[in-house]
Amino acid sequence: MRIEKTITLAVKRFFTEKSLPEPDSSLIQLQKTRKEFEGDLTLVVFPLVRLMKMSPAEAGLVLGNYLKELPGISDFNVIKGFVNLVVKSSYWIDFVNESAGDSNYGYHEYTVDRETVLVEFSSPNTNKPLHLGHIRNNLLGNSLTRIFEANGKDVKKVNLVNDRGIHICKTMLAWEKWGNNMRPVDAGKKGDHFVGDLYVMFEKAYRNEIERMVEKGMNEEEARREASLIKEAREMLRKWEAGDPAVVELWNKMNGWVYEGFDVTYERLGVSFDKIYYESDTYHKGKEIVGEGLKKGLLIKKEDGSIWADLTHRGLDEKLLLRSDGTSVYITQDLGTAVMRQEDYNAGKMYYVVGNEQDYHFRALSLILEELGYAWAQNIEHISYGMVELPSGKMKSREGKVVDADNLIDEMIQTAGKLSEELGKLEGLSCEEKESIVRVIGMGALKYFILKVDPKKNMIFNPEESIDFNGNTGPFIQYTHARIRSLLKKAEQTGIVANSAGAADFQLSKKETGVSALLHEFPQVVAEAGKTCSPAIIANLIYELAREYNQFYHDHPVLKEENCDIRNYRIHLSTLTGEVIKKGMALLGIEVPDRM
């Protein structure tokens, strides 16, 4: 039994024995002891003093003396209403020895009736390639699906491709005007890059036309509306929605180029999906839902023919669902997508990984679905994350001032290779092995740097800081894993087999206890990451574990330790550390090499 559960049960037993009201489990709060105090686990006394009718100091002393009698507790101290408990070395030793061989350690066991959860992420537009902002979205979404699975959920990964609208028609019109019937292969470009360049070309020509019209005396707002290029794009959109064969054929062809490009980038990121939805399909369903809601009197139709949802009684305002000309808006297709997905998967939870600028949108989406009678709408959760900026500032897609995902991946791998060569970490490897390890290091650096930041926070991505074999980086953690694998391989080659530590009658050092305690936290951290939708919690535990292990490794012999029990324990400690690092990094979508 884990020590936390033992302590919780003991506290309840104490109240029973003293004929005191038994506290609810939520009142028995255990946390990691702060580093400046002696101890491993801290019991917070304040929630219990009312039931004990004592001061915090008195209650802490009484509870501390009681808990000290537990088999796993050796000592305690009380600091201002906090009971700091010292866990016995024997507990840590038994835990490490037992867990080192548990392939499922840290993960929740699957059950036949496990809850299905759906995670939408990526959601690209087909008018441009994926960029740094998309990388954060994809890495966050992919990691969360792994974390939910580790917590026993049946996860479905879905993508919603924004494949329709005026922005798509801009690229189509640019190809007709300036594409010269070229294909991506003719230009030597990936399809998404080829189409993205057309979008930038359109926006540049559009801005130039607006500037000329303003110079002739028209105000800018009117110029943006009356420019011939935007009128042509709108006409193309009208033809597409009317099913014009030529326009639809061009739309299919250009979107096909983009999808081929996306697939290459997704593969490089290690991202895949169970199903991809397309707005060109889901907006039809959305319009049907809106029409049904209007018939039932759940929505309102204004004089100009537009249809709205009145959410003022829910703390929001009125939300447009269909324009006066009958065309849909973003939330229309999101209504359709949500209903289609629920019909497909009957999910207990529906997560949307989308930037924080859409907080209002998803609040409105959930409320509108509730108003329309979909009870499962309460299970919608927006995983809101902050923006990614560069040291030089924000990115601008329309101006082509973005960090392209493919270019960034290339840069990370090249930098990893250069630094690894300089540090001599690729010596003795074949060209194929070097290429594989450099890719793993480069991608690990990119993924870890992004995922170690709390998703809710804005972040600045600095490629130079991300690739470092020291500090809170992916390569540092990967190197620690490789060091452990090297140690264990050497043990195997020399015939050293780690058996149980027997009576475990030796005292652990502070470093050994520190590593053991961090390993002990792993299952709780995986659970907490699932509850809070934050891979950063796992990333920072794994870094702390790698740092603590390296300090232990520096101070303590492992294979050369003469005491067999201690040596066996240290081998098990190394084995479990390597396994937890590998599992934790896998939850972030990061590979760890066996040698570096």
Edge-to-edge, what's the strand order for the sheet holding 116-120?
Answer: 275-278, 154-161, 116-120, 349-355, 380-385
pLDDT in tens, the chain (596 residues): 899 999 999 999 999 999 999 999 899 999 999 989 999 999 999 999 999 999 999 999 999 999 999 999 999 999 988 999 999 999 999 999 999 988 899 998 777 789 999 999 999 999 999 999 999 999 999 999 999 999 999 999 999 999 998 999 999 999 999 999 999 999 999 999 999 999 999 999 999 999 999 999 999 999 999 999 999 999 999 999 899 999 999 999 999 999 999 999 999 999 999 999 999 999 999 999 999 999 999 999 999 999 999 999 999 999 999 989 888 889 999 999 999 999 999 999 999 999 999 999 999 999 999 999 999 999 999 999 999 887 764 444 444 457 889 999 999 999 888 888 887 878 888 888 889 999 999 999 999 999 999 999 999 888 778 888 888 999 999 999 999 999 999 999 998 887 765 556 789 999 999 999 999 999 999 999 999 999 999 999 999 999 999 999 999 999 999 998 899 999 999 999 999 999 999 999 999 999 88
CATH 1.10.730.10 for domain 411-587: yes
* Cβ–Cβ under 8 Å, residues 254 and 260: no
Q: Residue 397's pLDDT is what?
A: 43
Listed in order, the ranges of the chain carrying CATH 1.10.730.10 are 411-587
pTM (global) more than 0.85: yes
What is the SS3 assignment for 582-595?
HHHHHHCCCCCCCC
Question: CA nearest 512: which of 482, 555, 474?
Answer: 555
d(CA 522, CA 528): 10
Listed in order, the ranges of the chain carrying CATH 3.40.50.620 are 117-274+338-389
Which CATH class, in words, describes the domain spanning 117-274+338-389?
A: alpha beta
Q: Residue 320's pLDDT is what?
A: 96
| Helix, strand, coil fractions of the chain, as percent rounded to 5 | 60, 15, 30
d(CA 447, CA 585): 10
| Residue 295 buriedness (CB in 10 A; 0-12 / 13-18 / 19+) | exposed
Q: Residue 355's pLDDT is what?
A: 95
Question: CA nearest 196: which of 51, 382, 407?
Answer: 407
Listed in order, the ranges of the chain carrying CATH 3.30.1360.70 are 3-87
Residues in the chain: 596
Cα angle 445, 449, 452 (rounded to 5 degrees) comes to 130
384 bridge partner residues: 354
Edge-to-edge, what's the strand order for the sheet holding 29-32?
Answer: 29-32, 41-44, 82-87, 73-79
Q: Residue 504's pLDDT is what?
A: 63
d(CA 557, CA 567): 8
d(CA 527, CA 537): 10
- Provide the CATH number for the domain formed by 3-87 in this structure: 3.30.1360.70
Edge-to-edge, what's the strand order for the sheet holding 318-322?
Answer: 300-301, 307-310, 318-322
d(CA 518, CA 528): 15
